């Protein structure tokens, strides 16, 4: 038997199933029925009578005359405290306003405010009561009793609510759960919208990537691209030839490294005074042989030929022979090398002037940027999908909890989500 049957002793013919959208209205209606089933209206009437009684007893206390013989000072103290008791009662009267409705929220708020006001009233006049009753015993006692009776009635007002506290908590929990589910569903809708927008972005990026790949494929199949490829191959061949000639030039100078280095050290030690031009060419010989001018070998040959101390006479002839060999061949190698370098620069200018190179680079950059954007959006949509899954799992759990809460109110009621 559910709470409605317990309160009314009969079944209320509500539909067994209820749509989620209709649940809030049903909860409000059911809560109102629970309120109507209580005796709040009759207790309101009793409270009104109790307030009238308090007004009457306070008036009688205010107008009471001392009976018997009392010391004048005691009478003055009693009268002063009696007046304070009456003042506190009137403040209580001003702050107790009986509601016109009997719904649970109103009843609970009225009880809480009423008890707070009544407690304050009693606290403020109990000390005065101790002095007032010495002279106005019966009248003071009657006021205290009437005020306490009001407290009993206020508590009686919420007894049925306390009896059905779990049911009332279920109403509150259900209403909070509905709001929570609605908010989560709104977030789910927003996340789905975001995912849809991200899906559209991904599709657009993929479409543009495919389009640019097609353009690049057409570009690489064109005659201009073949010309560009041939020019690049020619450039590679020329650069390999330049490396080969440079290696041959280095081979000419390899046997001369030691004597040339010795000559450089002798100059640095002040044993040889070399002309600036010869010193510069000597540095090039040791660092960049392909840049040395042929005349340098004539000068070096003359220096070594005249030297009879620094260079061993037994080795000097061989060194001179190597110098002559290098000097005779450097002219040919240098000419060949510089011709190749000129051709390399011309080929590079030719390649740089081809529009197809820029088109290819632009397409490549565009594809790379699109792929970066695609990767970024795919990460973003992955986060959104995980968040959506979390929200959907959460709302599914909240729906189960809401159903259990509704069962606590009416165990026949099934929610249609």
Task: Tell me the average pLDDT across 311-335.
Answer: 73
CB of 38 within 8 A of CB of 160? yes
Neighbours of 225 (CB within 10 A): 18
pLDDT bin (cut points 50, 70, 90) of residue 5 is low
Per-residue pLDDT at 307 exceeds 70: no
In angstroms, rounded to a whole number, what is the distance separating the alpha carbons of residues 4 and 409?
8
Task: For residue 313, name the pLDDT band (cuts at 50, 70, 90).
Answer: low
Residues 6+ apart with CB under 8 A from 289: 249, 250, 252, 253
What is the average per-residue pLDDT within 113-119?
94
Tell me: the pLDDT tens digits for 230-245? Answer: 989 999 999 999 889 8
pLDDT bracket for residue 402 (50, 70, 90): very high
Positive/negative CA dihedral, 148, 149, 154, 155: positive
DSSP SS3 for 306: helix
The residues that bridge with 416 in the sheet, in sequence order, are 19
pLDDT at 386 over 90: yes
Q: What is the pLDDT of residue 354?
A: 85
Tell me the per-residue pLDDT of 130-143, one tens digit each, with 9 for 90 and over. 999 999 999 999 99
What does the pLDDT read at residue 271? 65
Using only C-alpha atoms, the chain has a radius of gyration, in whole angstroms, of 54
Dihedrals φ, ψ of 415, to 5°?
-90, 135
Place of tokens 């695609």: 374
Q: Per-residue confidence at 320, pLDDT binned at 50, 70, 90?
A: confident
Among 42-51, 191-200, 334-343, which stretch is predicted with the lowest mean pLDDT?
334-343
What pLDDT was estimated at residue 335?
83
Q: Would you state the pLDDT for residue 305?
A: 72
Alpha-carbon distance 23 to 399, whole Å? 12
**Confidence check: pLDDT of 293 > 80:** no
* Residue at token pair 């632009």: 362
- Rounded to the nearest integer, the mean pLDDT of the chain is 85
Q: How far lies 346's CA from each of 116, 259, 350, in Å?
A: 101, 38, 6
Q: How many CA atoms lie within 13 A of 157 on its CB side?
A: 32
Confidence of residue 7 (pLDDT cuts 50, 70, 90): very low
Query: What is the per-residue pLDDT for 13?
Result: 52
* Percentage, residues of the chain above pLDDT 70: 87
| 251 contact partners, CB below 8 Å, separation of at least 6 | none
Q: How far is Cα 209 from Cα 327, in angstroms, rounded to an integer?
A: 59
Angle, helices 295-306 vs 276-287, to 10°: value is 100
Tokens at 168, concatenated: 């009332």
Phi and psi torsions of 310, nearest 5°: -65, -35
H-type alpha helices, 64-103: 72-95
Distance CA 201, CA 384 (A): 14
pLDDT of residue 9: 46
pLDDT for 34: 65
pLDDT level of residue 15 (50, 70, 90 thresholds): low
Q: What is the pLDDT of residue 356?
A: 87
**Under a CB-based contact definition with an 8 Å cutoff, are residues 305 and 320 in contact?**
yes
Phi, psi of 378 (to 5 degrees): -65, -35
Domains in the chain: boundaries? 38-163, 220-370
At 82-98, the pLDDT tens digits run: 999 999 999 999 999 99
């Amino acid at each position: 038997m559910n709470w409605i049957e317990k309160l009314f002793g009969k079944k209320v013919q509500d539909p067994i199933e209820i749509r989620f959208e209709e649940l809030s209205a049903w909860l409000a209606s059911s809560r109102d029925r629970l309120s109507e089933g209580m005796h709040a209206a009759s207790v309101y009437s009793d409270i009104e009578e109790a307030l009238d009684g308090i007004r009457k007893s306070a008036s009688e206390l205010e107008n009471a005359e001392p009976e018997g013989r009392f010391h004048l000072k005691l009478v003055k103290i009693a009268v002063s405290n009696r007046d304070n008791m009456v003042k506190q009662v009137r403040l209580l009267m001003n702050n107790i306003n009986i509601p016109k409705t009997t719904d649970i929220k109103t009843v609970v708020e009225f009880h809480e405010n009423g008890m707070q006001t009544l407690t304050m009233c009693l606290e403020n006049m109990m000390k005065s009561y101790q002095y007032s009753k010495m002279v106005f015993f019966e009248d003071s006692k009657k006021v205290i009793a009437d005020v306490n009776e009001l407290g009993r009635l206020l508590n009686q007002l919420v007894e049925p609510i306390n009896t059905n506290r779990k049911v009332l908590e279920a109403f509150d929990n259900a209403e909070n759960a509905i709001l929570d589910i609605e908010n989560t569903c709104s977030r789910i809708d927003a996340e789905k919208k975001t995912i849809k927008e991200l899906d559209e972005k991904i599709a657009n990026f993929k479409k543009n990537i495919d389009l640019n790949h097609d353009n690049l494929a057409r570009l690489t199949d064109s005659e201009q691209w073949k010309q560009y490829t041939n020019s690049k191959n020619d450039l590679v061949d020329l650069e390999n030839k330049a490396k080969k000639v440079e290696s041959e030039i280095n081979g000419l100078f390899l046997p001369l490294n030691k004597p040339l280095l010795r000559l450089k050290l002798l100059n640095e030690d002040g044993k040889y005074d070399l002309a600036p031009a010869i010193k510069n060419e000597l540095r090039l010989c040791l660092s960049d042989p392909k840049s040395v001018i042929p005349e340098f070998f004539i000068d070096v040959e003359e220096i070594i030929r005249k030297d009879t101390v620094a260079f061993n006479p037994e080795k000097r002839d061989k060194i001179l022979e190597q110098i002559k060999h290098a000097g005779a061949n450097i002219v040919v190698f240098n000419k060949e090398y510089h011709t190749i370098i000129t051709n390399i620069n011309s080929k590079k200018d030719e390649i740089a002037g081809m529009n197809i190179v820029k088109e290819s680079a632009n397409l490549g950059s565009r594809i790379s940027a699109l792929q970066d954007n695609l990767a970024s959006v795919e990460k973003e949509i992955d986060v959104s999908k995980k968040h959506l899954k979390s929200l959907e799992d959460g709302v599914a759990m909240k729906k189960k909890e809401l159903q259990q809460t509704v069962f606590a109110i009416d165990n026949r009621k099934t929610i249609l989500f």
